[in-house]
Amino acid sequence: MSNDLWPFSTQAIPVQPLQSQLFNGINIDVLRLDTLHPIISGNKWFKLKYYLAACKEQNFSTIATFGGTYSNHIIATAFACKVAGLKSIGIIRGEATKFLSHTLQDAINYGMQLHFIPREKFKDKAAIKNQFTEDVFWVNDGGYGTKGMQGAADILQTLPSEKYTHIIAACGTGTMLAGLISAAKTHQQIIGISVFKNNFSLQKEITDLLTTTNTVKPFTILHNYHFGGYAKHPTNLIEWMNELYLTENLATDIVYTAKLLFAVKDLCTNQYFSANDKLLIIQSGGLQGNLSLPKHTLCF
């Protein structure tokens, strides 16, 4: 895949140490994938890049994928396809509304054609695909699949990651975590923070991905930090986001990374880690989701 297609480099992603007392003195670095690009933010580029390459190599002209009203994956796919000279189709969960979210409006502006599917029918992906007679290259929700995992594995190549004892990331589909697990060294513990409520099938979904490349390794999923469910953002989460920004100058989003950093703080406070541990936190981007909040809710 030619690098001249892409408007950014993954070679100089900053690593930010956390220096306040919020984290009980534990040695923590944050990999700032959110700085990678203003639209293809965070882990989205890594999860998409091998799908985009395969689409072009197999001479498809269109990528079709799935997502919700505020999906980071949808907007990233729309923009990446525009840059790559591909058409894009977004299959959106839920009914069309009179006023589209900023995410969906931006996706349209980047050339994506949207199709809305009622929530009760959204899980039947085979039936959805059968509605399309045109020849398209299909990508699962959130880039879930072997190519998405392989791309996410490249995240750890952007820094000298072997010095860390723990690598911690938020989980939606588990695609990124599977990539991190596959690329991690044997001495490293991988921890995923699930942002969905009661998403206990996540363990199997990650394991299923790993078995496709025979890289099954131990990992941990924690399910107690969803704050009520996917994209739920009660007052105490908003307060935490503002506190974190004011003390560490680290912006987070309401869906993934605020919950991730809260989980890390809670684990540190409760002596989950030892003084000799060195943590790498993946700031996976997705800050555009905060645009759904009323103005001045956040201090950043």
Task: Return the residue matching tokens 């059968």.
Answer: 130
Percent of residues, the chain, with pLDDT higher than 90: 88
The bridge status of strand 27-32 relative to strand 15-17 is antiparallel
Question: Do residues 1 and 49 make contact, with C-beta atoms less than 8 angstroms apart?
Answer: yes
Q: CA dist 289 to 211, 230, 261, 273, Å?
A: 32, 12, 16, 30
Residue 2 has pLDDT above 90, yes or no: no
Question: In order of start, what are the domains of the chain with their CATH numbers?
Answer: 3-41+146-292 (3.40.50.1100), 44-143 (3.40.50.1100)
- Report phi then psi at 238, rounded to 5: -60, -45
Range in 39-43, 56-60, 169-173, 236-240 the model is least confident about: 39-43
pLDDT digits (tens, 9 = 90+) for 35-82: 998 888 899 999 999 999 999 999 999 999 999 998 999 999 999 999
pLDDT digits (tens, 9 = 90+) for 176-229: 999 999 999 999 999 999 999 999 999 999 999 999 988 889 999 999 999 999
Confidence of residue 154 (pLDDT cuts 50, 70, 90): very high
pLDDT digits (tens, 9 = 90+) for 109-124: 999 999 999 999 999 9
